[in-house]
Structure 1
Amino acid sequence: MIRDCLVIAVEGTHASGKTTLVHALTSTLREHGINAACTGEPARSSPFIEDIVIHGRGGFDLAAEVDLFGAQLTTQLRAARHHTVLITDKTLFNVVAYARLLLPAADRPAVEAMTTLCMALAGWYDSVLYCSDIFDPRQPGDDFRVKVADRQRDVDQALCDLLRLAGSPLTEIPAALSTSDRVQWILTRLAEDGLLTALS
Structure 2
Amino acid sequence: MSVRDCILIGVEGTHASGKTTLVHALTAHYRSRGMLVDCIGEPARTSPFIEEYVIHGTGGFDLTTEADLFGAHLSATLRATRHQRLLICDKTIMNVVGYARMVLNAPHGTRDAAALDAMAAFCAAWASAYDAVFFLPDAYPDDSDPMRGKVTHLQDATTAAVRSARTDAGVRLLDVPAGLDLHERVAFLAARVDAMLAGAGV
User: Structure 1 length normalisation: TM-score?
Assistant: 0.94
**CA–CA distance in structure 1, aligned partners of residues 135 and 56 of structure 2:** 31
Give the superposition deviation at 1:66.
Answer: 0.5
Q: Is the 8 A contact 2:142 2:149 kept in 1?
A: yes
Q: Is the 8 A contact 2:133 2:174 kept in 1?
A: yes
Asked if 1:26 is matched to 2:27, the reply is yes
Give the superposition deviation at 1:196.
Answer: 2.4
What's the % identity of the aligned pairs?
A: 49
| Range with bigger deviation, 79-88 or 148-157 | 148-157
Q: How do 1:144-163 residues align onto structure 2 when only pairs under 5 Å count?
A: 144-163=147-166
**CA–CA distance in structure 2, aligned partners of residues 18 and 41 of structure 1:** 10
Secondary structure of the residue aligned to 2:196 is coil
Q: Is the 8 A contact 2:77 2:89 kept in 1?
A: yes
Gap runs ≥5 in structure 2: none
Q: Is the 8 A contact 2:12 2:92 kept in 1?
A: yes
CA RMSD, aligned part only?
1.2
Asked if 1:132 is matched to 2:137, the reply is yes
Aligned to 2:128: 123
Q: Is the 8 A contact 1:5 1:80 kept in 2?
A: yes
Q: Is the 8 A contact 2:70 2:93 kept in 1?
A: yes
**CA–CA distance in structure 2, aligned partners of residues 60 and 152 of structure 1:** 17
Secondary structure of the residue aligned to 1:21 is helix
**CA–CA distance in structure 2, aligned partners of residues 70 and 164 of structure 1:** 21
Secondary structure of the residue aligned to 1:59 is coil
